[in-house]
């Protein structure tokens, strides 16, 4: 019997893989390329985290991530034309994946004895780096550096997780608080179109130079 966290992990992986596969299809990748792109989004963040923490990447210990990405590919091939009606569900799944991956990343770094600020960065990398890898592979400027709050939601969740941890809360309380913070930050940012200020120093310089 899979646990509740494993089911959430599966849903998050599935949603992340779908996100990669759909962007690959917009770039006319073939099925294999789309699979690789989906897999990169689903496990890329966790792989970078595990390489930095010097442990074996989690997808090399359990084939479920490969199968989950295969399922996502079959899903897109079969139901591609109906996916647009599911955009809201997919966004929700993606936000759940982001929340869960952030919490998993924080926890892993803390368990391995790293300081809290490394844990928050590892949580953010787990959640957000897959999307950066995807955008590098499809040769686009990474979206998360320009659109609504994304990686910053991970940072907020990591801080919430750590605050609970410092206050001596039980692990499950830390996890839920961290995850809910990521989820709410992400959903509210998209709902109210909250973006960070754009850095425009370069343009000002040029105007100044005239």
Q: Closest approach of Cβ 51 to a copy of itself, in Å?
A: 6
Separation between Cα atoms, residue 150 and residue 136, nearest integer Å: 17
In angstroms, rounded to a whole number, what is the distance separating the alpha carbons of residues 88 and 144? 19
Distance of CA 132 to the CA centre of its chain: 9
Contact criterion met (CB below 8 Å) for 208 and 161:
no
Residue of 95, 37, 42 lying closest to 68 (CA atoms): 42
By beta-carbon proximity to a copy of itself, the closer residue of 101 and 150 is 150
Binding site for a copy of itself (CB under 8 A): 21-22, 24-34, 36-37, 47, 51-52, 54, 56-57, 60, 63, 66, 76-77, 80-84, 114-115, 117-118, 132, 136-142, 144-146, 149, 151-152, 195-205, 207-209
CB of 189 to a copy of itself, least distance (A): 12
We find the least distance from the C-beta atom of residue 152 to a copy of itself, in angstroms, to be: 5
| Residue 23: strand, helix, or coil | helix
Q: Closer to a copy of itself at the Cβ: 53 or 187?
A: 53
Paired tokens of 170: 């039980």
Q: Which is nearer to a copy of itself, 2 or 115 (CB)?
A: 115
């Amino acid at each position: 019997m899979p646990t509740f966290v494993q089911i959430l992990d599966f849903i998050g992986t599935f949603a992340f893989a779908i996100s990669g596969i759909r962007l690959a299809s917009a770039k006319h990748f073939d099925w294999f390329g789309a699979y690789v792109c989906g897999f990169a989004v689903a496990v890329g963040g966790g792989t970078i985290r595990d390489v930095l923490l010097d442990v074996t990447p989690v997808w090399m210990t359990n084939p479920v991530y490969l199968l989950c990405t295969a399922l996502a590919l079959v899903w897109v091939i079969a139901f591609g034309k109906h996916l647009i009606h599911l955009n809201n569900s997919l966004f929700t799944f993606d936000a759940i994946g982001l929340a869960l991956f952030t919490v998993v990343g924080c926890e892993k770094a803390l368990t391995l004895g790293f300081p809290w600020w490394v844990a928050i960065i590892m949580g953010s990398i787990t959640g957000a780096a897959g999307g950066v890898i995807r955008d590098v592979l499809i040769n686009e400027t990474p979206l998360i550096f320009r659109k609504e709050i994304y990686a910053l939601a991970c940072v907020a969740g990591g801080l919430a997780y750590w605050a609970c941890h410092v206050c001596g809360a039980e692990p499950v309380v830390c996890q839920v608080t961290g995850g809910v913070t990521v989820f709410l930050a992400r959903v509210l940012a998209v709902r109210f179109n909250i973006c960070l200020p754009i850095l425009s120093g370069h343009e000002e310089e040029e105007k100044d130079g005239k």
